[in-house]
Structure 1
Amino acid sequence: MLYTLRWIATGMVWLFLGCASSVPDTASTASSSLEGVAPASPPPTIPALQEWIPASSAGYALSSKSRIVLHVDDAADLAETATVFASDLADLTTISADVLPGTSASVLPSDIFLELDPSDAQLGNEGYSLQVGPSIRIRAHTSTGAFYATRTLLQWLRQTRNLGAGSARDWPRYPERGFMVDVGRKYFSMDWLRTHIKELAYLKMNYFHLHLSETQGFRIESATHPEAVSAEHYTKSEIRELIDLGKKYHVLIVPEIDMPGHMGAILASHPELQLKNALGIRDTDFIDLSLDGAYALMKDLITEYLPLFPAPFWHLGADEYVSLYALYPQLQAYARSHYGPNATGRDTYYGFINWANDIVRAAGKTTRIWNDGIQSPGSDTIRPNPNIVIEYWFNLGLTPQQHLDAGHTILNASYTPTYYVLGIRHPNDADTYESWPPPRFQGGHTVAADEPRQRGAKAHVWCDFANAETEQQIEQGIVPLLRSMAQHTWGSPKIVTSYCDFKGIIEATGRAP
């Protein structure tokens, strides 16, 4: 494969000519004779570095003598990050590096030194600086930033044991870089979920959304409503295990119990709470928001799981409920008895969202919902509380900018290109990598690139046809999507512009150890 190097703005980047199946394997050519000669660029990473400045001094060589040294003042805060790094490094290279406290004066050649340093304000809570010489020095404001520096090192060391000298500064553009899995329709094994926590961390992604309930399944153990739980489900102990693993890998686990639609699995044992239309026909997916028993059931479930998940968010779902409210006169009657004589059936839906939001807020968390049910203001009496985060997935109702104007924070969860739907659609990987920016939403709507209330973006696996693909096929199928999402949400300059060339970087950086 032909390649050249070219200096662009903040550093050196790889420019690949032609559609490559791999990038140069520097591990096969690096040797001790290269020490003291700095390559123009470090090996590629996903996401790319924000900044890299090469140096002409001696470089770094990983060896069996390498140690992970923690600044003595920061050793307690960095211990878990260092332990995880040492374990992953051993998996990747078979080198077992000791972890020990020390000072910069105690660092030897081939060591990796970690310390906390708040002096570089631009790095924020997730950024880091990384100096490569005979030893490697990592500085970050927080253990999260130091952890992400270790992910960069793992990707480099997968490709070569010898690194040219230089310095990097790196930080994310968006605070949420996410992935959602529809475990409600399709049960995914714990091994699959554990693998993808590590995979997200390897890509510096930090948000794992579990869509736990659907018409086809309710996938989490319940003490309040065991009758709703599917045969294939996760115990609370297993969920705690995932949360603990996520904490070690700096990945937040966020639950979704979808209400008031998509409740078929829950309502199968409660047909009396299913919504009936004016002809008396039940909709087995919708709960009847005019019934007191509906609120009792939903409150049981929300309050049971709020303490289980330490994440600061609770995803309520709230998507794809009633579209023609005139078919359900009881919803209008309920609204007028609670919100005034001019209230509409949709006010009952908005009132439910605010009712659930009050429960979530009382637990110190923030509610998130999908966007499609929130329509333009018309004859409605109330509106969803602006402290609710809107995840914009489809071009229905308000635009992303209108949600911002109403006071909401938003996230880009657009059907195109972030949805990988079993049996229906896969994203166009080339378009996703080459053409899609996170400020562009479904329907072509855009928000300002520097909008501070856009949290970021999220990739999704939806299992509408659960048996269309196996876990292994899905795992392979989403490799490009996750890596494009990582690159876009980190927001650094791309190493290569074409997806054809990006595939070479995907191959070189590989999967999480």
Structure 2
Amino acid sequence: MRADRPRREGGLPAGLSVRGLTTSATVVALLVFTGCSDGSQAHPPDTRGSDARSPDAQSPAAQSPDGRGGQGSGSGRTASAPKPAFPAAPRTIPSVRAFAPAPADTWSGGAEWRPAAGTRVIADPDGPLADEARLLAKELDAGHAAGPAERGDVQLAIDPGRSGGREAYELTVRDGTVRITGSDQAGVFYGTRTVLQAVRADGKLRAGTIRDRPDRPQRGLSLDIARKHFTAGWIEARVREMADLKLNQLQLHFSDDQGFRLESSSHPEIVSEQHLSKAELRRIVSLARGLHIAVIPEIDSPGHLGAVIRAHPRLQLKNTSGSAVRGAVDIARPEAARIVDDLLREYAPLFPGLPGQEAYGHLGGDEYQALTVKNPEASFPRLAAAARAKYGPKAKVQDLATGWLNDRSDVLRKLDRRPKAWNDGFFRGGVVAAHRDREVEYWTGKELGAREPQEYLREGRKVVNLNDAYLYYVLGEPNTFRYPTGERIYRQWTPAVLRGSKPVPASMAGPDRVLGGRFAVWCDIAGAQTQDQVTRGIRMPLRALAQKLWEPGEPALSWSEFTGLARATERG
């Protein structure tokens, strides 16, 4: 069930520990010892399950003078006094990817750092890291200042030349101070999350250097607020939870058959009684941006538009017998396109993405019921005629649907947004091809005519993993859905497992092709769970997802150890 592909070390610097080394058929477990704060003696081995293990555990510092172990060879010689051993990596979710413990002879300032009464977070109060500094200071109950850094402080700094990408960071504990650097605010922010979690878990950071970065650029949560109204406060709490886990995308699906849940000035007639106001949305987006999370709007079309159809019944798609097709608009009617485009334009300024980064818009495109029948042209002759009129005599209904999404993509591009759509909105063959820059959000292989994920990857398309077998939390468990468990994600899923439980070939699964993944909450039976029950239900799946998107290799911790660490590191 596991994707047994080679572990990607991504060019991590030599001398930094990783979570396991393999030579031929031999697996070498590398043990790490934790030093005392004054560096005068060694603690017993740290057995709490560090994710990054020191390659120096077999160094002379951990051996007797004859190199045979601490108690000698049994010859009667007395072993020398143990020397200080090396600190262990911090315990965090997700785990840090590389940790180099500080040699014992550099422990002049102690083998660890702990926040104390005089601790300050150091950054220019008018500089790019001012918000990150203020937040960490508040979380540590510390002060913040411009500097210079002194013993006990945490210093934040931008280093434009640092490698690894905008989300990478380096964290060094030396001489009783912590220094976090990154090429961008995002990386430095993630370094502060490592500090915060380490303090929550163990009250300290060990001396040494962490160099850390995510494996995948897109990591997040999709939330269906159309079928079920979630309060702004509840969504804000999820944003804070996501930030602690170094997740960076929140997708809001706010339009569906059951409701339209966001205030609209262009089409107020479609808005449900329970909805988010624009002021509430601005607060959510502002909070998310401050925590380096992009909020992505999804206006699903041409299906899942029941709330729009109720206000505009003329747009309802009907088959040859005159029966209405649930949630589907008649895409041969220009008015349907006009309404959706109005909404795309209205909401774009409310979802600006992250500073300096490409912003997204999600077009849906899934489950258009005109294409779930065996013969769409026979069942929907009006759509078939419109396809031929627009795209030529060989065009079919799928071409009209593809053209619909292409037209909406054009609207998004003019708004400086990159489009996304669900995988069942991309069709095989046809006269009209889906635009190449539209990202594929792969969720299912169960739909009529479903395509394997390899097809999209062979076409050169970028894919995001929302595998419904692992990552779909569907309220009420309708059809064959069951609530996913964090343990199953942790043990079996990787970004390469796009459909079912079988991974795509490793050659197709790199971070430049499978961009990441999101955990999705769908509210098909809205009353099946309360907000609090959803919070509890997605708690461990989110943590498992965060771990596997940051580092998709074999986890070092057992599931029991991981759940214990989750309890230790989460907000009170």
The alignment's TM-score, normalised by the length of structure 1, stands at 0.88
Aligned match of 2:406:
354
Residues 49, 492 of structure 1: 8 Å contact kept? no
Q: Distance in 2 between matches of 1:381 and 1:12?
A: 50
Structure 2 residue matching 1:375: 3-state secondary structure: coil
Q: Give the greater-gyration-radius structure (CA).
A: 2
Structure 2 residue matching 1:478: 3-state secondary structure: helix
> RMSD of the alignment, in Å?
2.2
**Shift >4 Å, 4+ stretches:** 29-39, 492-495
Alignment match of 2:129 (pick from 74, 78, 101): 78
Aligned match of 2:364:
317
Q: Distance in 1 between matches of 2:127 and 2:113?
A: 26
Mapping for residues 39-438 of structure 1, pairs under 5 Å: 40-55=87-102, 56=104, 57=107, 58=110, 59-70=112-123, 76-89=127-140, 95=141, 97-102=142-147, 106-121=148-163, 123-133=164-174, 134-311=176-353, 312-321=359-368, 322=370, 323-324=372-373, 325=376, 326-377=378-429, 380-395=430-445, 396=447, 397-424=450-477, 425-438=482-495
Residues 30, 162 of structure 1: 8 Å contact kept? no
Q: Kindly provide the CA deviation profile for residues 270-322 of structure 1, in whole angstroms up to 9, marking residues without a partner as x.
A: 11110010001112410000112212222222221122211211101110002
Structure 2 residue matching 1:383: 3-state secondary structure: coil
Q: Tell me, which stretches of 5 or more residues in structure 2 are unaligned?
A: 1-14, 21-33, 43-84, 354-358
Structure 1 residue matching 2:351: 3-state secondary structure: coil
Residues 276, 328 of structure 1: 8 Å contact kept? yes
Residues 128 and 495 (structure 1), Cα distance of their counterparts in 2 relative to 1, 3 Å cut: same
Q: Distance in 2 between matches of 1:328 and 1:289?
A: 11
Query: Displacement of 1:445 after TM fit?
Result: 5.2
Structure 1 residue matching 2:350: 3-state secondary structure: coil
Q: Kindly provide the CA deviation profile for residues 435-476 of structure 1, in whole angstroms up to 9, marking residues without a partner as x.
A: 111111113351533251221011011111111111111101
Q: 1:296 is matched by which residue type in structure 2?
A: R
Alignment match of 2:497 (pick from 430, 435, 440): 440
Q: Distance in 1 between matches of 2:161 and 2:278?
A: 41
Query: Displacement of 1:501 after TM fit?
Result: 2.5
Q: Distance in 2 between matches of 1:141 and 1:35?
A: 36
Structure 1 residue matching 2:285: 3-state secondary structure: helix
Q: 2:398 is matched by which residue type in structure 1?
A: R
Query: Displacement of 1:430 after TM fit?
Result: 2.0
Query: Displacement of 1:402 after TM fit?
Result: 1.5
Structure 1 residue matching 2:424: 3-state secondary structure: coil
The alignment's TM-score, normalised by the length of structure 2, stands at 0.80
Q: 1:401 is matched by which residue type in structure 2?
A: Q
Aligned match of 2:541:
481
Query: Displacement of 1:387 after TM fit?
Result: 1.0
Moved more, 165-174 or 319-328: 319-328
Residues 201, 250 of structure 1: 8 Å contact kept? yes
Residues 256, 314 of structure 1: 8 Å contact kept? yes
Residues 435 and 295 (structure 1), Cα distance of their counterparts in 2 relative to 1, 3 Å cut: same
Query: Displacement of 1:113 after TM fit?
Result: 0.8
Structure 2 residue matching 1:430: 3-state secondary structure: helix
Q: Distance in 1 between matches of 2:192 and 2:414?
A: 37
Moved more, 233-242 or 299-308: 299-308
The answer to whether the aligner puts 1:498 opposite 2:558 as a matched pair is: yes
Q: Give aligned-pair identity as a percent.
A: 36
Query: Displacement of 1:119 after TM fit?
Result: 3.6
Residues 411, 454 of structure 1: 8 Å contact kept? yes
Higher relative contact order, structure no. (Cα contacts within 8 Å, ≥ 6 residues apart): 1
